[in-house]
Structure 1
Amino acid sequence: MAASAKEIELVKACQRNDRQAQNAFYNLYKGRLMGVCRRYARTLAEAEDIFQEAFIKIFLNIGDLKNVESVEYWVKSTVIRTAIDYYRQHRRENEQVDYETILDDWSVSPQVYDKLSQEEILEIINAMPNGYRMVANMYYIDGYTHPEIAKILGIAEGTSKSQLARAREILKRKLKAVGLWSITL
C-alpha cells in the first residue's frame, strides 16, 4: 500500500528531526502495529517493549529511508525484525526440533474468528512455545516463506517447517478443546 500524502509529509518532517512530526508518526502507527507486536510477544508488557525498541530503530534510521512511499512496509518490517530480535535475546527455552513429516497445510475457517475474540486467538497463539509462535506468525500472518523464515531466524528450513507443523497441532488441539475444530478445513 502506497503512503498517503500526510504520511509522506510526516516522514519528511521526521527526517528533519521535527519532534511534533515524530510524535504524530508514532501515534499514527501505534494503533496499526501494536497488534503485530502482540502476536510476537507473550505479554502486553513485552509487546510494548518491542514496539518501543522498534520505534527507536525507526527514528534512528528514518533519515536513510529513500522511498518514502513505502514507509508502511518499512515500518512494519522494522517492527517484525525487532520482535524477532527480542525473541532471540529473551529466549528462555532451547527447543530441540526433530525433522518429522510435515502435515498438509490447512487454514482456519473464517467462522473461527466469528466464534473467538481477538484476545482469545492471541491467548492461543501466545501459549505456544516461542519457536512455534514465531514461525506461525511469520508464515501465516506476515507471509514469509520457509526459506525466508530460516534465514531471518538463523534456523534450518526443515526446522521452520517442523515448528509450523507443531504449531498447527497445538492450534488444532486448542480449537478442538473449544469445539471449533469441526468447522475448520
Structure 2
Amino acid sequence: MQALANNLNNTTITDHLVSRCKKGDVHAFRELYNAYSAAMYNICLRMTGNTADAEDTLQEAFMQVFRNIERLENAGSVTAWIKRIVVNHCLSHLRKKKVYFEEVDNIDVGDEDGAVDEDSFAWTVAAIRDAIHVLPHGYRTVLNLYIFEEYSHKEIAAMLDISESTVKTQYMRAKDKVRQIVKQKNAIR
C-alpha cells in the first residue's frame, strides 16, 4: 500500500514538474535535470565509452529535452521520453565517429553456451565493466542497448539502421568477446 502511495505521489510530483517546465520555469528545468541527469549520464558513458563524450552527449540531449518539453504529452512517461532522447543522441554521436556495424547474412556465430567454462574463472562486476569498456564501439553499442537499456533486437536494428540478424550477431560476438577478455585477465592473475 505504501509503495502505491509513493508511486502516486511521485507521479504527481513529476506531472507538476513537467507542467512548470512547460511554462518556462528555469528552476523546474534544474530540478528535472537534477532528477534525471545521473541515470542518463550512465547511459551516455556506457554507450560512448569515455567521460568527455558522455558529458557532451548528455548536455546536448538535455538541451533537446528542454527545447521540446512542450511536446511531451504524458508526464508519466517523462523517464522513457528523456531516455529515448539520450539514446538517440548517443547513437548520433557514434554515427559521427563512424562506428562500424559488421553486416552479416547467415554467419554461424557458434553455440551461445560456447566452449568457455564460465565457472572456471571469477566474474566480477568490475571485470565485466572493464571488458565492455574495451569492446569495439559497434559491439559495445549493441550490448548496451540490449542488456542495459532493454531494447529488443528488432528495436536496435531500427535505431541503428542495420538488419536484425546483424544485431543478433553483434550481440553474440560482444558477449563472446567479454568472456574472452575476462578469461584473459583472470589467466594473467
TM-score range, shorter chain: 0.7 to 0.9
Cα distance between partner residues in 2 of 1:136 and 1:148: 13
Gaps of at least 5 residues in structure 2 are 1-6
Structure 1 residue 63 displacement after superposition: 0.3
Mapping of residues 1-185 of structure 1, within 5 Å:
3-91=10-98, 93-99=99-105, 100-105=107-112, 112=123, 115-117=124-126, 120-179=127-186
After superposition, the Cα gap between the structure-2 partners of 1:33 and 1:121, relative to the gap in structure 1 and judged at 3 Å, is: farther
What does the per-residue CA deviation read over 1:93-130, in whole Å, with 9 as the maximum and x for residues that have no partner?
A: 54544442234556x99x83xx333xx54432221111
Structure 1 residue 60 displacement after superposition: 1.1
Structure 1 residue 5 displacement after superposition: 2.2
After superposition, the Cα gap between the structure-2 partners of 1:21 and 1:105, relative to the gap in structure 1 and judged at 3 Å, is: farther
Structure 1 residue 58 displacement after superposition: 0.6
Computed over aligned residues only, the root mean square deviation of the Cα atoms, in angstroms, reads 2.4
Structure 1 residue 149 displacement after superposition: 1.0
- TM-score, normalised to structure 1, is 0.83
Larger Rg: 2
SS at match of 2:27: helix
Gaps of at least 5 residues in structure 1 are 181-185
Q: What is aligned with 2:4?
A: none
Structure 1 residue 56 displacement after superposition: 0.9
What does the per-residue CA deviation read over 1:123-148, in whole Å, with 9 as the maximum and x for residues that have no partner?
A: 32221111111111111121212221
Question: What's the % identity of the aligned pairs?
Answer: 31
Cα distance between partner residues in 1 of 2:30 and 2:181: 40
After superposition, the Cα gap between the structure-2 partners of 1:104 and 1:144, relative to the gap in structure 1 and judged at 3 Å, is: farther
SS at match of 1:102: coil
Give the aligned length: 173
- TM-score, normalised to structure 2, is 0.81
Contact 1:14 1:21 in 2 (8 A): yes
Q: What is aligned with 1:183?
A: none
Q: Which amino acid aligns with 2:70?
A: G
